[in-house]
Amino acid sequence: MIRPQQSYMIWFAQRTGSTLFNEALASTGIAGNPSEWLHYQHNDPKTFTREDVERIWQSGTTPNGVFGLKMNFEQRWIDCFRQLFELPQEASRAEVWNHAFPNCTKHIYMTRRNKVRLAVSWWRAIVSGEWHRRTGEKPSAADLADQYHFDAINHLLVDSNMCEAAIEDFLTESGIVPLTIVYEDFIQDYEGTVRKALAYLGLQGDQVRIAPPAFDRLADEVAEQWVQRFREERQQGWEFVKW
C-alpha cells in the first residue's frame, strides 16, 4: 500500500453536518473519502496495528493520493499512535498524528453556533433512531411526542462543548489554524462551502462536479418545541435571561 501523498482531517462534534460534508467531498473524486474510518474499521486502540493504519489509508484515499479522515478528538488515539510508531513522549500531539496520517497539514473544523439546537438534534436522533435521512426518503415513523428529556439534552449540550474544547485545545497547542465551517452557513451555501474547502486543500476543483446534498434536514416542529422548552427550563430562575 502506497502512503497517501496528502492527508487532511475533519474535526467535528455531533450534529454539525459532518456526514453531509464528507459525502460532498467524496463525490468529487479528488478529495479522498473522509469518513470515520477509525470508528468504522477498528474502534479499539489497544489492538490497533500498522496494518490497520494501511487499511484506513486505502479506504480514505482517492487515486490522486489525497487521504481524508473525520473524527471527534480522542486522546486515546494519540496515545495509541505514539506507542505504535515508538515516538518519544516529548513529540507533540500533532507530530504523532502526522506519523499515522502522512503530510497532514490541513485541518477542517466543523462547528455549530446554536449548541442548544445541536443538543436537541442529537437527542432527537438518539430517541428516533433516525440519524440521517437520504434525500427524498420518508421521515421516520417514530412517535416522539413524549420523548423530551431535559437531563439528556443538558448532558448532550455539555458533551458537545467538551468535545469542541478538546478539538480547539489540540489545534491551539499545535499552532494549527483550521478552515472553520459553521453548520448554519454550510446549509445556506452547500456548494460554495464545498468549493471553499477544495480550494483550502489545494485541489483544483473549479470544474469538478459536486453531488447534490445527500440528506434532507431532520429539524421539525417537535424539535423546535423541544428547543424552546429547554431554553425556558434551563434558564428558569435566572435574573438575567440570555435567550
CA dihedral 11, 14, 19, 25 (to 10 degrees): -20
For residue 87, which phi and psi values (nearest 5 degrees)?
-95, 145
Quote the mean pLDDT of the chain. 94
Structural contact between residues 99 and 80, judged by C-beta atoms closer than 8 angstroms: no
pLDDT at 1: 58
The partner residues of 11 in beta bridges, in order of sequence, read 71, 109
Q: Is there a catalytic annotation at residue 36?
A: yes
- Residue 201, burial from CB neighbour count under 10 angstroms (0-12, 13-18, 19+): buried
Q: What is the pLDDT of residues 143-172, one digit of tens each?
A: 898 999 999 999 999 999 999 999 999 999
The residue annotated as part of the active site, out of 23, 36, 54, 86, is 36
pLDDT at 207: 82
Structural contact between residues 33 and 62, judged by C-beta atoms closer than 8 angstroms: yes
Band of residue 180 on the pLDDT scale cut at 50, 70, 90: very high
Q: What is the pLDDT of residues 74-109, one digit of tens each?
A: 999 999 999 999 999 999 999 999 999 999 999 999
Structural contact between residues 109 and 70, judged by C-beta atoms closer than 8 angstroms: no
Interval 5-26 mean pLDDT:
97
Domains of the chain: 6-234 (3.40.50.300)
In this prediction the pTM is 0.94
